[in-house]
Chain A
């Protein structure tokens, strides 16, 4: 089945450690996105990529890094510089970045930093 996978579903890390969240899609989509969701807030864009080997900062990129070496994969690293990393992280993909493109979301990873 085509879709987006994120692993793991729950992730625990100690403060000061970097952690990488995986996102894989087999939809042959060019564009991929990372969002952060906090209780009582709307999703906020961290990074997005329109094509392999290219990515752009979103609204809250500080403390995060990404790579896009393959079309299928868009991993997100939460670095120790991110001040409040505990959150629910969602990856999405779409055929393009037009306003009319539907985004398909992964199941999310809940990161807790202890």
Chain B
């Protein structure tokens, strides 16, 4: 069993839709990271969470430590949001999920 599970694996949305990507993990962690991988392969860090909720622009990330679950929400989605979103948990080194491929159609 993978230590970090993401759902869905693939997601297609229409522009403007509200999007939710889920991440569940089975290990004790100190922090959880959400990353975005662009089609060219480059990765940028979106959020680092150890509790509660964070918001940056149209992106919102939440974490429930007791339930070992985190969600990444995108409001008013746009085609430029199309990317792979990766959840990673940290006990020191990062353990990565397989990613969720999001495609937003105009």
Contact = CB atoms under 8 A, between A and B. Distances in A.
A2 interface: no
Interface string B86-100: 101011111111110
A97 interface: yes
Interface residue range, chain B: 20 to 34
A104 interface: yes
Given A99-B29, A99-B31, A45 B93 contact: yes
Contacts of A104: 45
Classify the secondary structure of A's interface with B: loop
B90 A42 contact: no
Contact of A107 (B2, B42, B45, B88): B42
B96 A105 contact: no
Interface string A40-77: 11111100100000000010000000000000000000
A43 to B, nearest CB: 4
Interface of A: 40-45, 48, 58, 88, 90, 92, 97-100, 102-108, 110
Nearest to A44: B96
B44 interface: yes
A45 to B, nearest CB: 6
A24 to B, nearest CB: 15
28 contacts: A40-B98, A42-B2, A42-B86, A42-B88, A42-B98, A42-B99, A45-B94, A48-B93, A90-B43, A92-B43, A97-B93, A98-B30, A99-B29, A99-B31, A99-B92, A100-B30, A100-B31, A100-B50, A102-B33, A103-B45, A105-B43, A105-B44, A105-B45, A106-B42, A107-B40, A107-B41, A108-B41, A110-B41
